[in-house]
Chain A
């Protein structure tokens, strides 16, 4: 008991010190805005400036304030901190998508899982359960990932809920956008027919659209007496108005075409996810201006819906004019592998700049994030790499989220250090 009391006292002491440090930092911050310049960088802007050699990027607090090409750098930068990249590559922070980051700690431990619920419907907002302190978040940063679109997996209903956007700072204010896209899972069924869900989706849009039109045509007096639309219907309204994307998981070409037809019929902002057969209907997808979120490594015919799976899909879709986003299927714990998956796509024909866009700007465009590019006014989510970001031998040297430098240290490092440090005492004393 006694030792417990001492420990508590120590904790209290520590917290007090921490609080005062934070207070001081805030004070300093108020006195002078902090500006940082990264000089001599090879900058992948993923924006109109393309790739800049020996460039300088300045960020002021949380936003990028200047991007100078090497022939355009002023003599006096007038910044608080200067980092010499020595030619190393600077990219926008990579963005994970379609995973359960922060909604799962251990997949087989149900009480650490918050991504699904039998009763989840189109209104399901899993962001309420997001845990920025999950050990997966720090580990994800090792892959240069600065933000993420978290996707719940819903329950028994047609819609699986809605995605949300987070930064990977690990702070309690990590959620940047709630309920920013609606999820639906389509395709082969172990019980019943794939047709039913497609039909239900079509009917849902038709019914809500009809009710909406009716309401708009009704007289003002009656309108006042009318009830507010149901929460679920409001979300359908947002989809019909194109205010929010519909993320539809499907693989077989017939399902993809059926979804394209729904887009045409109702004007929804459709995003295809998975889409193993996308190459078969690449021209139709490109013509409909539909973005495809897919994996670069799922090349086996894991089902009859993915007979045409191949390592060259990303390159072929890009060549057909389809905007692509790279997301490994269902991966949360090892989402930091994104960059290696991008490397595999490049090894199989995708241009390196297109692969970087598939991890940054393309995602920002779909989910309306103010990141994913190195351009004035964008969030200072930046990664300075030791070399080519996709190479196995490369690591993150420095990274910033909203202009704050963040660590890539994770629980894994603490474990490694414990077991590689020699000691006369049991390992438990090495902390």
Chain B
């Protein structure tokens, strides 16, 4: 964990003359700057069709429900929602009895990095070689032919964050994808979505590295690991700020040596990269919040917060989103204190941000049902939640966690037309996603094979 102090770039040092480096008005070398987007999105919307859905039950994703409502999609955007809409040159579809919601968003997926088939050659989700691998990016492991993407699309998933695994304190960068078929990762990449940094609390890192007789082997070892990394990153950030300030003042300073690991941590300190922290337990989340405050970054979204209900007030107060399962438990000690109403208890606090996530190539296909289980178990036990509340957990709040809530995650004029048409109430076990749209383009249709993509891997198999 303990990084050596900043390495000086020997090559650059040899080229410049240190005595003259700080004199004003000297000839400046080209300014060294870090390209924050070296693998840009090449995503293009699929063929779009301006569409007017009529007579739907609409859940906006932001707490509203409209019955017998129309939804107008024009040029890939939500144009209008309301009664008796009409528009020229649109395909009008009467969807009486069916429901429309925003596209479903999963903030925690390993599709593509732990794809199907789960053969050794495909296990690309965990760089388990040192506790801090902030330098790795999940997008470089994404296999876009994972058949799981199509299965998730059939369940209404339109955007998803692919994260590295949780073996490490810092697992690396996550990437947000649009769930469209492509044969490159860049072809799926959600343009302008901030990167995520995967961190992990608790049992996994201390088990993986403890077995190797190296730090961390305890939870206190975990925390020492986070803090020393942030301390180093703080120096790195300061070095770059100093370089930029001096350069901008006309000097010709020595640039800090590039360090890919610290680039990511600095991105967090700069507010460009959002924290996504695998962290089950109440006391650990509370510590992670304080570490964020100590080093001046926001502790972001807690994932798998099985014990979030124990600190619901604190999470809302600190503005943390929490991504949770409805009922997974018991596979580790840190997952022992599950309650089925966890999401609802977190959600009940003002300014909260409760999310239902999957972390599974199976339940991602029915994230609506995962949210439904919470909705009904909570109502069995004194809550009074409605469909329009539960849909937030898998749409708007998820978009907020990923920093894309200005583009998707709700049905509102001007938003991307990421839309699911459901056969009925999405919180019934029998309901199916019938049609799925990303940016107003149909990417899935249950009744039309033309809109059912198939991975290269499955092509020609018998």
Contacts and interface: CB of A to CB of B under 8 A. Distances in A.
Interface of A: 104-109, 135-136, 297-304, 306-307, 332-334, 337, 340, 343-344, 346-347, 390-395, 412-413, 415-416, 419-420, 427
Given A106-B330, A340-B369, A391-B428, A301 B457 contact: yes
A416 B341 contact: yes
Closest 3 CB pairs of A and B: A343-B429, A333-B330, A392-B372
Given A302-B116, A415-B339, A392 B376 contact: yes
Contacts of A415: 337, 339
Contacts of A304: 117, 119
Contacts of B331: 106-108, 333
Contact of B458 (A301, A334, A346): A301
Contact of B330 (A136, A303, A347, A394): A136
Contact of B328 (A135, A298, A300, A334): A334
B157 to A, nearest CB: 14
B216 interface: no
Contacts of A413: 339, 381
A108 B332 contact: yes
B118 A303 contact: yes
Nearest to B461: A307
B430 A347 contact: yes
A412 B309 contact: no
A343 B373 CA distance: 13
Contacts of B147: 300-301
Interface in B365-391: 365-366, 369, 372-373, 375-377, 380-382
A390 B428 CA distance: 9
Nearest to A104: B330
The prevalent SS among residues of B at the interface is: loop
A427 B430 CA distance: 39
Given A334-B327, A343-B430, A412-B339, A392 B373 contact: yes
B429 A390 contact: yes
Given A106-B330, A301-B116, A302-B117, 13 more contacts: A106-B331, A106-B333, A301-B461, A303-B118, A340-B369, A343-B429, A392-B376, A395-B376, A395-B380, A412-B338, A416-B309, A416-B340, A416-B341
B310 A302 contact: no
A112 B375 CA distance: 32
Nearest to A394: B376
B430 A302 contact: no
A303 B338 CA distance: 31
B285 to A, nearest CB: 14
Interface of B: 116-119, 147-148, 151, 203, 309-310, 327-333, 336-341, 345, 361-362, 365-366, 369, 372-373, 375-377, 380-382, 427-432, 457-458, 461
Contact of A392 (B337, B361, B427): B427
Contacts of B373: 340, 392
Nearest to A105: B330
B368 to A, nearest CB: 9
B429 A347 contact: yes
A392 B338 contact: no
B148 A347 contact: no
18 contacts: A104-B330, A106-B331, A107-B330, A108-B333, A109-B333, A302-B116, A302-B117, A303-B119, A332-B330, A334-B328, A392-B376, A392-B428, A393-B372, A393-B427, A395-B376, A395-B380, A416-B381, A420-B382
B333 A344 contact: no
Nearest to A134: B330
A363 B317 CA distance: 51
A106 B336 contact: yes
B340 A392 contact: no
Contacts of A391: 428-430
Contacts of B427: 392-393
Contacts of A107: 330-332
Given A106-B333, A392-B373, A303 B117 contact: yes
Contacts of A108: 203, 331-333
B345 A420 contact: yes
A420 B332 CA distance: 24
B204 to A, nearest CB: 10
A143 B432 CA distance: 23
A307 B458 contact: yes
A395 B376 CA distance: 9
Which of the listed residues A106, A340, A416 has the most CB atoms from chain B within 10 Å of its own CB? A416
Contacts of B117: 301-304, 306
Contacts of B327: 334, 337
Contacts of B365: 299
B362 A393 contact: no
Contact of B310 (A105, A298, A300, A419): A419
A136 B328 CA distance: 12
A392 B374 CA distance: 9
Contacts of A420: 341, 345, 382
Contacts of A300: 116, 147-148, 151, 361-362
A108 B333 CA distance: 7
A194 to B, nearest CB: 15
A135 B333 CA distance: 13
B296 to A, nearest CB: 31
Nearest to B348: A420
Contacts of A416: 309, 339-341, 345, 381
A151 B287 CA distance: 41
A412 B340 contact: yes
A420 B382 CA distance: 10
Contacts of A343: 429-430
A304 B366 CA distance: 24
B202 to A, nearest CB: 11
Nearest to B332: A108
Which of the listed residues A136, A301, A344, A392 has the most CB atoms from chain B within 10 Å of its own CB? A392
Contacts of A395: 376-377, 380
Contacts of A344: 366, 429
B333 A347 contact: no
B234 to A, nearest CB: 35
Contact of B345 (A135, A337, A419): A419
B332 A106 contact: yes
A347 B431 contact: yes
Contacts of B377: 395
A347 B119 contact: no
Nearest to A297: B362
A146 B343 CA distance: 28
Nearest to B116: A300
Contacts of A299: 151, 362, 365
A300 B457 CA distance: 12
A109 B330 CA distance: 10
Nearest to A393: B376
A310 to B, nearest CB: 10
Contact of B429 (A105, A306, A392): A392
B49 to A, nearest CB: 27
Contacts of B309: 416, 419
A231 B214 CA distance: 47
B330 A340 contact: no
B171 to A, nearest CB: 19
Contacts of B430: 343, 346-347, 390-391
B330 to A, nearest CB: 4
B304 to A, nearest CB: 14
